[in-house]
Amino acid sequence: MAPRITLTSVMVDDQAKAHRFYTEKLGFVTGQDVPVGEARWLTVVSPEAPDEVELLLEPRDNPVLNGAAETFQLALVENGSPATAFAVDDLQAEYERLKSLGVRFTMEPTQAGPVSVAILDDTCGNLIQLFQPPTGP
């Protein structure tokens, strides 16, 4: 049996701000919120699949990382590279919904081979790709 992905993370510059963005704008719901020292074990999940993958909103100022997370995060943004990607059923509709909520996109919906993609700024130091998988055979 192959391993399953049940948790992944994205580094954020502010957990509270990230939680607001990921829940109020993107539509995720809180998975876990547990104090851990000065930070929190803070995850969000899809309301349609709350028992599947959790996204950990990981504070990038973790002293163990000694600034490496911020350097990596800034390099991704400078190069226009998304930190992660989320699938949506209708990219154009999601783009319009998020634009109406004030979300800033660095790439409007674009066809990329068999998928459509768009890239947004999560306001917490990351670019996030939204993609619509191909339909049909």
pLDDT tens, per residue, the chain with 137 residues: 899 999 999 999 999 999 999 999 999 999 999 999 889 999 999 999 999 999 999 999 988 888 899 999 999 999 999 999 999 999 999 999 999 999 999 999 999 999 999 999 999 999 999 999 987 55
- Residues with Cβ within 8 Å of 94's Cβ and at least 6 positions away in sequence, in order, are 88, 130
Residue 106, CA distances (Å) to 35, 56, 77, 121, 126 in order? 33, 23, 10, 7, 11
Q: Which domains does the chain have, with CATH numbers?
A: 7-132 (3.10.180.10)
